[in-house]
Amino acid sequence: MATVDAGSSASRKMVHTETRSPLEVILARVVYYVFGVIEVLIAVRFVLRLLGANRDAGFVAFIYSFSSIFMAPFEAVFKTQTSSGAAFEGSALLALAVYALLAWGIVMLVRAVSPRRSSETVERVEKSEDTTSEQ
């Protein structure tokens, strides 16, 4: 709002309101995003192996090599069943379940130690002085 007096200065106030998410919400989003990317890689790997995709294809080789980092702890858990080029990789299904539980556990831990439970609204008032001259 602006208030103008004849021959004096005008005063304006602007109120900026923003809602800030708690740190726990931001951390939860990051954790879910990172683990979501890992799970998508493993799921794509599972489907490619199940359909017997050509390992020499660039995309398939990329998925296999990149996801092998996350599959390493689970490689020897189940025997991979193969039939005419296609493979059922039970270890990939176990990895999907473990990574989902791990992400959920990390988010629950962050929420347990976080002191704030809701969003915070911050208002900032800016006051500016304008000099006007009467003609």
* pTM assigned to the model: 0.71
Q: How far apart are CA 73 and CA 95, in angstroms?
A: 8
User: Is the domain of 65 the same as that of 101?
Assistant: yes
- Return the DSSP state at 1: -
User: Is the domain of 29 the same as that of 89?
Assistant: yes
pLDDT (mean) for 112-131:
69
User: Is the domain of 13 the same as that of 50?
Assistant: no
User: Is the domain of 29 the same as that of 49?
Assistant: yes
Q: How far apart are CA 37 and CA 43, in angstroms?
A: 10
13-51: pLDDT as tens digits: 777 777 777 888 889 999 999 999 999 999 999 999 999
Q: How far apart are CA 84 and CA 91, in angstroms?
A: 19
| pLDDT, position 81 | 87
User: Is the domain of 73 the same as that of 43?
Assistant: yes
| pLDDT, position 2 | 46
72-114: pLDDT as tens digits: 999 889 988 888 889 999 999 999 999 999 999 999 999 888 7
Q: How far apart are CA 34 and CA 98, in angstroms?
A: 14
Length of the chain: 135
What residue spans of 51-135 are helical by DSSP H? Answer: 58-71, 90-113
User: Is the domain of 53 the same as that of 103?
Assistant: yes
| pLDDT, position 46 | 96
Residue pair 19/76 in contact (Cβ under 8 Å)? The answer is no
